[in-house]
Amino acid sequence: MIETTTTDLIINFSYVLAAALFIFGLKLLGHPSSARKGNFLSAVAMLIAIVVTMFDNNIVSFQIIAIAMLAGSILGVFAARMVAMTAMPEMVSLLNGIGGLASLFVAWATVAGTSDYGVFTMVVTFLALLIGGVTFSGSLIAWAKLSERITGRSVTFSGQVVFNSVLVLVIIFAAYLFVAQPAMVAGINIDFNVVLYTAMALALLFGIMLVLPIGGADMPVVISLLNSYSGLAACAAGFALHNNILIVAGSLVGASGIILTNIMCKAMNRSLSNVLFSGFMPATKTDMVIEGEVKPLSADDAYYVLEAAQSVVVIPGYGMAVAQAQHAMKELQQLLEENGAEVAYAIHPVAGRMPGHMNVLLAEADVSYEQLFEMDEINKRIQNFDVAMVIGANDVVNPAAREMKGSPIYGMPVINADLAKNVFVLKRGMASGFAGIDNPLFFKPNCRMIFGDAKETLGSMIRQFSD
C-alpha cells in the first residue's frame, strides 16, 4: 500500500461527499416534482468524483485522458440529444452495455501490466471481467432484439441447455486458472494472457447465450437485469481497485436494477428463473375454446359513444409506441375533457419494452403525470368507467389471466378492461400479443374492435369531435 498523503485524504473525503450526493439524488428521484433536481445532484456528485480523482498523485499523463473524455462527452451529448423517446429502451440497453464494457476494460487494464496480486484482488478482477462482458454482449443482443435487427422471439436450438451448462463449467474452470498463479493444466504452465483472453471471450459468449432465448415481451425484465449487472460490474471493479466510491455507486445501481427486475417479474406473475429459462420449455397449450364473436366498429361510430361518455380510461401498450399515437391521444384527451369527460390513463408495469416506457411517452405528449394511474388503483374503480380504450396493448388486458386456468398467463395481474361498461380495442389486426395467447377480451359482448393504425383511428375521432 502507498502511504496516505494529504491528497489521498482530500480525495477520499470528496468521495464521501459524492456518495452522500448520489444517495440524496436518488432520494429526490422518488417524486416527479423533485426528480430533475435529484438527477442534477447525482451529476454534481459525479463531477466532484471525477475532478478530485484528477489530483491523484499517480496520475501523471493527462493528454490521453483529455482526449478520451472529450471523445466520450461528444458521443454522449450526441446520443442523448438525438434519441427519440420511443427508442428509449434501445438507448438504455446500449448504455448498459457500454457501462459493462467500461468495467471489463478497467479489469483488463488492472491485470495488463502485472497479474501479481493477491487471491482476493484476482477473484474480484475476474468478476468485473465476467459481469462486464456478460453485460456488454447481453445488452447488445437486447438492443438488436428491441430495434428488430434480429428476431424479437425466443431463439433456441437443440442442445442449448447442454451447451450452456458446459459453458458455465468452463467459465468456472477459467476463473480457477485466472486466480491460481501460475496457471497449470495437466502439468503445463499456461500463459496468463491466454487465460485472460479466453475468460473475456467466454464472458461475451455467455452474455449472448443468456439473452438470446428470451422473447420480446420479457424485455422489461432483461433490461432491468442488465441495468443491475452494469452496476455490479462497476462494483466488482471497485473491489479490484480498492475504490470506495465505485463500490457505493455500483451497488446503488445494482440494487436499483434488482428492484426493477423484481417488480417486472411480479407484474408478470413469474419468477426470474422462469423468465430467463422459459424459452427452453415447451409452450403450454390450452384446449379451452373462446366463444363469441369479434365485433368491429368504425372510428366514426366510436365517436358517438365517446361523446356521450362521462369517464374514459386509456390503457396504452407497446402498440401505441409503435404507432407513435401518444400525441394524437393527448389531443383526443383534451377534446374529451372539454366535452366534460374525465380521462385517466392506466399503466401496467410491463406495458411497453422497459419499466416506465409508457409514462415517458405520455410525458412527451404533455400528459400530466397526475392522470397516470397504476394498475391496482384503476382496477378498484374500472367498472365505473363508461369507456376503456385499449391502444396497442394486448396481454396486459387479457382476462384469461383471471378466468382461464391453464392459460400460460393465468394468475398474471392484469388491468381489468373488460369490466368497464364499453371497451374499445384499437388494434392493427387480430394477431395475438407477444406472448402468442388468444385474448378472450376481444370476444366479450361489451367489446368493440376498431381495426387500423391507432394514430389514424384517433385522428378520425378527433376530426369528428371538431366537426
Partner 1 sequence: MDAVYLLFILLLSIFVGFELIQKVPATLHTPLMSGANAISGITVVGALALAGSDTMGEYAAYLGAFAVFLATINVVGGYLVTDRMLAMFKKKQ
Sites for partner 1 among residues 357-396 (CB under 8 A): 357, 359-360, 363-364, 366, 368-372, 374
Whole-number Å distance between alpha carbons of 419 and 403: 13
User: Which is the catalytic residue, given 287, 386, 395, 438?
Assistant: 395
* Residue 170 C-beta: closest distance to partner 1, Å: 24
Q: Is 407 in the site for partner 1 (CB under 8 A)?
A: no
Dihedral of CA 206/209/212/218: which sign? negative
* Residue 368 C-beta: closest distance to partner 1, Å: 4
Whole-number Å distance between alpha carbons of 417 and 406: 21
Whole-number Å distance between alpha carbons of 257 and 18: 21
Q: Which stretch binds partner 1 (CB under 8 A): 96-104, 155-163, 420-428, 445-453?
A: 96-104
* Residue 359 C-beta: closest distance to partner 1, Å: 5
* Residue 96 C-beta: closest distance to partner 1, Å: 6
Considering only 175, 237, 306, 426, the residue that binds partner 1 (CB under 8 A) is 237
Is the peptide bond between 182 and the residue preceding it cis, with omega within 30 degrees of 0?
Answer: yes
Please report, as residue ranges, which positions from 56 to 75 form the binding site for partner 1 (by CB under 8 A): 56, 58-62, 64-65, 67-69, 71-73, 75
Q: Residues 125-164 vs partner 1: string with x where CB under 8 A?
A: ----------------------------------------
Decide whether 224 or 457 has the Cβ nearer to partner 1: 224
Cβ atoms of 62 and 104 closer than 8 Å: no
Q: Which three cell numbers stand for residue 317?
A: 401498450
Q: Is 259 in the site for partner 1 (CB under 8 A)?
A: yes
Q: Is 295 helix (H, G, I), strand (E, B) or coil?
A: coil
Q: Is 285 in the site for partner 1 (CB under 8 A)?
A: no
Cβ atoms of 355 and 220 closer than 8 Å: yes
Q: Is 313 in the site for partner 1 (CB under 8 A)?
A: no
Q: Is 413 in the site for partner 1 (CB under 8 A)?
A: no
Continuous H helices in 180-269: 192-211, 219-241, 244-267
Please report, as residue ranges, which positions from 112 to 131 form the binding site for partner 1 (by CB under 8 A): 112-114, 120
Decide whether 373 or 451 has the Cβ nearer to partner 1: 373
* Residue 189 C-beta: closest distance to partner 1, Å: 22
Pairing of strands 387-391, 422-427: parallel
- Taking CA atoms, 264 is separated from 276, 313, 347, 409, 413, in Å, by 13, 23, 13, 14, 11
Task: Assess whether 376 carries a catalytic annotation.
Answer: no
Q: Is 305 in the site for partner 1 (CB under 8 A)?
A: no
- Find the helix packing angle between 119-146 and 219-241, rounded to 10°: 150
* Residue 400 C-beta: closest distance to partner 1, Å: 24
- 126 residue type, one letter: F
Side-chain-side CA neighbours of 44 within 13 Å: the count stands at: 13
Residues belonging to the active site: 395
